[in-house]
Amino acid sequence: MELRDLNAFLVLAEELNFRKAAARLHLTQPPLTRLVHRLEAQLGVQLFERSTTKVELTRSGIILYQGAKDLINQAERLKQQVSQSAKNSEGILRVGFSAPVFHSILGPMLSAFRFHYPEMRIIAEDASAQEQLKLLQMGKLEVAFVEGRINLDGVQTQLIHREDFGILMSKTHRLGKKKLIRFADLHDETFIFQPRRDNPQFYDSFLALLRDGGIEPKLFHKKPNQQCPLLVSSGAGILLTTRTLSKFATKDLRFIPLLPPRPQLEISSVWLDGFESPQLKLFLSFISTTEV
């Protein structure tokens, strides 16, 4: 059975008049009659009771009418979904991120998305969390990816990644041979941090975390052109980071997990409330359901 034959059957079942049904289908009556005979032969049943005065559906015809109507409706919905998907996958999506976010999860995620939706052009902006939020509010980004959780009016957020923190330090450090490190072991250490202006909420939450662990940290604030692993190698301090991010470290450094309860790096997507374009909805759905 073909959908066009089923559609013709539906028209005839609704009209119960070959002349009127043929007119709706832009056919003459003989082709419509042959179509009905073909369907009846395929199914091995009689679909209509025909007389000189009226046409009625048989019990088999009623069953086919109900099923065919559902099938035609499903086919139409599928057609609309496919058409909408094609429209959604075209256009431009402007995405903001920081380097740690990109290397943790977003880089592979963007590659996977581009593979599935090559028609969509992604414009990527490498910026601090604060800069991303400003660009978002100015309409220059559609979605930002930041470390930590954002508490800001007028935005929607979605937690997309969580990973345990550990410590990156030199192999020759006094703790460099340990398998696990306690926060209490680090109270005399200097921590390499991003400047607070880049992400105040993230900065403050981790200072509080260190202080809760009994550490009043000494801080080394990196400059924009400085790489954290190289600062660790040069002896500027130790780095609170994740195993994923530590893969960019030089061979003289070692990543050591912290004893539980471990702090975690959380990465969130952020977008303006009420400004979800079809492209953004498609992208948010993709990142929430895809593992890389």
Q: Which two tokens stand for residue 260?
A: 């539980």
Cis preceding-peptide flag for 261 (omega within 30 of 0): yes
**Secondary structure (3-state) at 205:** helix
Q: 0.75 exceeded by the pTM?
A: no
Counted residue by residue, the chain has a size of 292
Per-residue pLDDT of the chain (292 residues; tens, 9 = 90+): 788 888 889 999 999 999 999 999 988 889 899 999 999 999 999 999 988 888 999 999 999 998 988 888 888 877 766 555 555 545 789 999 988 899 888 999 999 998 888 888 899 999 988 899 999 999 899 999 998 888 888 999 999 999 999 999 999 999 999 999 998 888 889 999 988 888 887 888 888 888 887 888 899 999 988 889 999 999 999 999 999 999 888 899 999 999 988 888 899 999 999 888 888 988 999 988 877 6
The reported pLDDT for the residue numbered 84 is 56
DSSP assigned state of 151: -
The reported pLDDT for the residue numbered 81 is 60
The reported pLDDT for the residue numbered 192 is 94
The reported pLDDT for the residue numbered 176 is 95
Angle value at C-alpha 15, between 1 and 59, nearest 5 degrees: 60
Give whole-number Cα distances, 266 to 37, 96, 150, 228, 263, in Å: 65, 16, 11, 19, 9
The reported pLDDT for the residue numbered 50 is 87
Residues 92 and 279 sit within 8 Å (Cβ to Cβ): yes
Q: What are phi and psi of 77, to 5 degrees?
A: -65, -40
Residues 276 and 189 sit within 8 Å (Cβ to Cβ): no
